[in-house]
C-alpha cells in the first residue's frame, strides 16, 4: 500500500503546531497502524529528520497509551479497539490519512501526537481506590456479591483510561471515565465505605481540571475501545445525588 500521512507536528506545548504530509510506500495491509508509523519514523531518521513522536507501550490494547485521532475518529475507523489493534487493511491504497492528538484543554500536547493525560491520574488520586487493611486476601465467600453486580463492576473496571471518551465528546467531558471508576467500587460492598467522599471528590476534581459537562449524545460510548456504557454515567449521577442529599 502507498499512502499519504497528514500528521500534526508540534515541538512542545508552547509551540504552534501544523500539519505536515509524509508519503509512505510498500506498507503491508496486515501491518498495525503503529507498525506503519514505525516504518515512517525509520525513513525520517535515515534522512536525519525528526521522527514523529507518538505514545505506545503494550501494543496489546491494554495500556491505552496509543491515543490518536485518525480521520476524525478516536482510535480510527474500527470499533472497540485501540490504535495498536488497528490494521492497515482498514484503509485504501493511495488514501490520505489525517492523524492528530487528542483535542482537549485538560490534555495539553507534549509533542506531536503525545498528550499529557495526567489529569486522569489526578482524578484517580482523589478517590479511585478503597482503603483496606493489608494482609492475606479474604476467602471468596466471606462477602457475598451477586453475579450481576460482580459482572457490572468488572465491566466498569475494564476502562483503560485512554481518553477516547474525552476526545469524542464535543464538550471534552470525562464523565464516562469517572463514572466507570466510581461504578467499579459503587457496585461492591468494599467500595461503599467511602462512596460519598469518592464521588464528591472525583467530580470536583474533574470540574477543577476543566473537563466539560455531559450532554448525553453518546459519542463517548460509541468510541470507547472497551465498550464502557452510558449506564455508568446514570449510576454516577445517582451516587452524586445520594452523596449530596443523604
**Residue 75: closest CA among 16, 148, 162:** 162
In which band, very low, low, confident or very high, does the pLDDT at 136 lie, cut at 50, 70 and 90?
A: confident
Summarize the confidence of residues 165-191 as an average pLDDT.
96
- Does 126 share its domain with 104? no
Give me the mean pLDDT over the 28-34 stretch.
97
Last residue of a domain, one of 111, 141, 157: 111
Instruction: Determine what percent of the chain is predicted with pLDDT higher than 70.
Output: 100
pLDDT surpassing 80 at residue 158: yes
- pLDDT, residue 12, reads 94
Mean per-residue pLDDT, 159-165: 97
Based on the fold, state whether residues 53 and 128 are members of the same structural domain. Answer: no
216 and 156 part of one domain: yes
Mean pLDDT of 222-241: 96
CATH number of the domain that residue 94 is part of? 3.10.20.30
In this predicted structure, the answer to whether residue 138 has a pLDDT above a threshold of 80 is no
What does DSSP say about strands 114-115 and 109-111: parallel, antiparallel, or unpaired?
antiparallel
135 and 97 both lie in a single domain: no
Per-residue model confidence as pLDDT tens digits over 48-89: 999 999 999 999 999 999 999 999 999 999 999 999 999 999
% of the chain residues with pLDDT over 90: 90
Judge whether 33 and 81 are in contact, CB under 8 Å. Answer: no
What per-residue confidence (pLDDT) applies to 149? 95
Q: Are residues 30 and 132 in the same domain?
A: no
Single out the residue in 86, 111, 136 at which a domain terminates. Answer: 111
Give me the CATH number covering residue 170: 1.10.1060.10
Last residue of a domain, one of 59, 78, 111: 111
Instruction: State whether residue 102 is helix, strand or coil.
Output: coil
Number of domains forming the structure of the chain: 2
**What pLDDT is attached to residue 144?**
87
Interval 7-36 mean pLDDT = 96
State the average pLDDT for the chain. Answer: 95
Chain CA centroid to CA 191, Å: 23
Whether 99 and 148 map to the same domain: the answer is: no
Verify that 75 and 162 share a domain, yes or no.
Answer: no
pLDDT of amino acid 134: 72
Beta partners for residue 100, in sequence order: 69
CA distance 68 to 72: 10
Statement to judge: residues 89 and 125 lie in one domain = no
Q: Do residues 39 and 126 both lie within one domain?
A: no
Domain shared by 7 and 63, yes or no = yes
Statement to judge: residues 136 and 73 lie in one domain: no
Same domain, 17 and 104: yes
Q: List the domain range (segments joined by +) for residue 72.
A: 3-111
Q: What is the pLDDT of residue 243?
A: 92
Amino acid at each position: 500500500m502507498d499512502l499519504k500521512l497528514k500528521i500534526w507536528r508540534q515541538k512542545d506545548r508552547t509551540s504552534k503546531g501544523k500539519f505536515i504530509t509524509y508519503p509512505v510506500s510498500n506498507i503491508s495491509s496486515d501491518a498495525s497502524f503503529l507498525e506503519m508509523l514505525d516504518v515512517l519514523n525509520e525513513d525520517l531518521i535515515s534522512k536525519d529528520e525528526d521522527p514523529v513522536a507518538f505514545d505506545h507501550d503494550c501494543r496489546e490494547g491494554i495500556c491505552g497509551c496509543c491515543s490518536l485521532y485518525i480521520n476524525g475518529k478516536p482510535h480510527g475507523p474500527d470499533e472497540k479497539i485501540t490504535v495498536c489493534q488497528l490494521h492497515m487493511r482498514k484503509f485504501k491504497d493511495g488514501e490520505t490519512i489525517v492523524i492528530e492528538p487528542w483535542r482537549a484543554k485538560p490534555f495539553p500536547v507534549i509533542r506531536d501526537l503525545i498528550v499529557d493525560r495526567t489529569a486522569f491520574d489526578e482524578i484517580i488520586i482523589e478517590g479511585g481506590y478503597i482503603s483496606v487493611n493489608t494482609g492475606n486476601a479474604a476467602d471468596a465467600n466471606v462477602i457475598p456479591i451477586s453475579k450481576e453486580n460482580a459482572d457490572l463492576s468488572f465491566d466498569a473496571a475494564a476502562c483503560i483510561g485512554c481518553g477516547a471518551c474525552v476526545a469524542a465528546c464535543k464538550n471534552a467531558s470525562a464523565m464516562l471515565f469517572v463514572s466507570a471508576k466510581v461504578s467499579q467500587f459503587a457496585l461492591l460492598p468494599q467500595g461503599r465505605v467511602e462512596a460519598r467522599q469518592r464521588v464528591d471528590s472525583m467530580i470536583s476534581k474533574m470540574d477543577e481540571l476543566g473537563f466539560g459537562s455531559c450532554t448525553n449524545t453518546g459519542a463517548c460510548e460509541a468510541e470507547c475501545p472497551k465498550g464502557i456504557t452510558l449506564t455508568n454515567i446514570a449510576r454516577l449521577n445517582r451516587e452524586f445525588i445520594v452523596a449530596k442529599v443523604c
